[in-house]
Amino acid sequence: MAPAIRDGVPLAPLTTLQLGGPARHLVEATEESDIAEALRWATARALPVAILGGGSNLVVADAGFDGLVLRIATRGRRFQPGGDATLVTAAAGEPWDDLVAEVVARDLAGLECLAGIPGLAGATPIQNVGAYGQEVAETIHAVRVLERASGEVRELPAEACGFGYRDSAFKRAPDRYVVLGVTFALRPGGPPALRYRELAEALAGLPNPSLADTRATVLALRARKSMVIAPADPNRRSAGSFFTNPIVAARLASEVAARAGVADAEMPRWPAGAGRVKLAAGWLIERAGIAKGMRRGAVGVSTAHALALVHHGGGTTAELVALAAEIRNRVRDRFGVTLVPEPTFLGFPPEFSWNAFAG
């Protein structure tokens, strides 16, 4: 049976920002066959297609999306023990944090630092999701995809996914594939990844922290920064980190420290290979004069983390984007570093350019 196509569906309730207009058409795919059928339906009508997961990394235009939104709701997990690794396969529609909780409960190392991240498993390779010193690229074994042009289902090994910092081949060519499932190679009984200083310091009192200890600590750290979705949290309507941490030449990093009036060693920075350095976007934002809790009407900066932009209710996407552009401009003018947004922008006109947007 073909999946039901609904018309004029509001998208704001399907996103964590709770902003934006409706989809011209929307289909919820609970089976992989629904995905292929919906794509054929859209192709026959020359309609653009947007893939929607958990809506936690999405900024929808106030006008909505004039095409078909394909909401992924497939479910299923499979565990295949063998040798030094257990292969864990999750359907694209599996809730991510539920998957992390299960692999930690099974004492499988490799995803424990990624607890509390909202969204679905299928989105993780697209963004190369990462937090607290860990990225999914470290453990992804393969990604099962539907090639939209041919309708062919393929399994891509990790090396074919083009992973980079918050980047992948899927993100660079968003119209080429639909992710159907992801397979991770996890380490039975392996130690937790404690590479991130804040996490390591929080666990310093435990002589041998377990995967469960690590997951619980990550959840607590994220909660203090309003980076988990909680109904009573006034910062809950956000897309998490709105900007990626910029990677710059080491020379520019030293100039940034000088402009901030601190020594290089006092500025948060991490080696990024080939003479490059990753800086902390939240640190730059605050030192550019943007305070936590700053508001511009119905939108503002989280009271808990300068890197998260918040919708307080009754606002518009245009107001949010204008605030983001203001923050970008303040950081660029102060430090010569241009911040890049992390979320996907949906329904914006083709001529829209984040870099050119003046706010």
218 is in which domain, residue-wise? 77-224
Based on the domain organization, do 111 and 209 belong to the same domain? yes
Local confidence band at 356 (pLDDT 50, 70, 90 cut-offs): low
**In degrees to the nearest 10, what's the CA dihedral of 348, 352, 354, 359?**
-90
State the catalytic residue, choosing from 148, 166, 215, 287: 166
3-state secondary structure 287-316: HCCCCCCCEECCEEECCCCCCEEEECCCCC
CATH assignment at residue 272: 3.90.78.10
| Closest-CA residue to 42 (of 64, 23, 25) | 25
Residue 359 lies in a domain: no
Residue 211 CA to residue 113 CA, distance in Å, equals 9
| Number of domains present in the structure of the chain | 3
SS3 128: coil
Based on the domain organization, do 196 and 81 belong to the same domain? yes
* Partner residues linked to 74 by β-bridges: none
Local confidence band at 265 (pLDDT 50, 70, 90 cut-offs): confident
Q: Is the pLDDT of residue 359 over 80?
A: no
Based on the domain organization, do 25 and 138 belong to the same domain? no
pLDDT cut 90: percent of the chain above it: 90
Are residues 134 and 114 in contact, defined by beta-carbon separation less than 8 angstroms?
A: yes
- Check if 166 is active-site: yes
pLDDT of 351 reads: 66
pLDDT cut 70: percent of the chain above it: 97
Residue 357 lies in a domain: no
Q: Which residues contact 5 (CB under 8 A, 6 or more apart)?
A: 25, 26, 27, 38, 41, 68
Based on the domain organization, do 188 and 307 belong to the same domain? no
Query: What is the pTM assigned to this prediction?
Result: 0.91
Question: In sequence order, which ranges of 61-132 are alpha helices (DSSP H)?
Answer: 96-105, 124-127
Local confidence band at 1 (pLDDT 50, 70, 90 cut-offs): low
- Check if 241 is active-site: yes
Are residues 213 and 110 in contact, defined by beta-carbon separation less than 8 angstroms?
A: no
pLDDT tens per residue across span 8-28: 999 999 999 999 999 999 999
Q: Which helix (H) or strand (E) holds 187?
A: strand 177-188
Based on the domain organization, do 275 and 292 belong to the same domain? yes
Residue 99 lies in a domain: yes
pLDDT tens per residue across span 42-100: 999 999 999 999 999 999 999 999 999 999 999 999 999 988 999 999 999 999 999 99
Residue 352 lies in a domain: no
Based on the domain organization, do 115 and 204 belong to the same domain? yes
State the catalytic residue, choosing from 241, 287, 319, 328: 241
Domain stops at, among 45, 72, 99: 72
Residue 305 lies in a domain: yes
The chain-wide mean pLDDT, for the chain, equals 94
Cα torsion 268, 272, 276, 278: sign: negative
Angle among Cα 307, 49, 5 to the nearest 5 degrees reads 115
pLDDT of 177 reads: 97
Task: For helices 250-260 and 317-335, give the axis angle rounded to 10 degrees.
Answer: 90
CATH assignment at residue 65: 3.30.43.10
Q: Is the pLDDT of residue 355 over 90?
A: no
If you ran DSSP here, which 8-state letter would residue 253 be given?
Answer: H
Residue 354 lies in a domain: no
Based on the domain organization, do 83 and 176 belong to the same domain? yes
Based on the domain organization, do 189 and 114 belong to the same domain? yes
Residue 355 lies in a domain: no
Residue 356 lies in a domain: no
Q: Is 231 exposed, middle or buried (0-12, 13-18, 19+ CB in 10 A)?
A: exposed
- Check if 222 is active-site: no
**In degrees to the nearest 10, what's the CA dihedral of 283, 286, 289, 292?**
170
Based on the domain organization, do 283 and 220 belong to the same domain? no
Based on the domain organization, do 242 and 330 belong to the same domain? yes
CATH assignment at residue 112: 3.30.465.10
pLDDT tens per residue across span 294-346: 999 999 999 999 999 999 999 999 999 999 999 999 999 999 999 999 999 99
State the catalytic residue, choosing from 28, 32, 94, 342: 342
